[in-house]
Amino acid sequence: MWSPAALPQVTGDVFYAIWDEILVGVTAVVSTLGGFGSDEQMQRIDGEANVVAVNAAKDYGPIFSVTF
């Protein structure tokens, strides 16, 4: 039976991640990036950080699904 606890979780700074190590064997990415603060902070966290993560997955290789 499938369990969400079985999914690997990665924590850290999305802007400084070593994506070639994180994405080994990955076929799907689920982003839970988000935050609150000033408009500038929310743009950076909710917008730019998710774009960085999705682009890293796209550039890495055959990622079949990205959800956020």
Please count the structural domains in the chain: 1
User: Distance between CA atoms of 61 and 11, rounded to whole angstroms?
Assistant: 21
Q: For every one of its 68 residues, what pLDDT tens digit does the chain have, with 9 covering 90 and above? A: 667 677 778 888 989 999 889 888 888 888 888 888 999 998 888 889 889 988 998 898 777 777 77
Residue type for 33, please? L
User: Distance between CA atoms of 53 and 25, rounded to whole angstroms?
Assistant: 16
In a domain, 18, yes or no: yes
pLDDT of residue 45: 85
pLDDT of residue 54: 86
* Neighbour-count burial of 5, counting CB atoms closer than 10 A to its CB (0-12 exposed, 13-18 middle, 19+ buried): exposed
- The domain in which residue 26 lies consists of 9-67
What's the predicted TM-score (pTM) here? 0.75
pLDDT of residue 12: 86
In a domain, 1, yes or no: no
In a domain, 3, yes or no: no
In a domain, 25, yes or no: yes
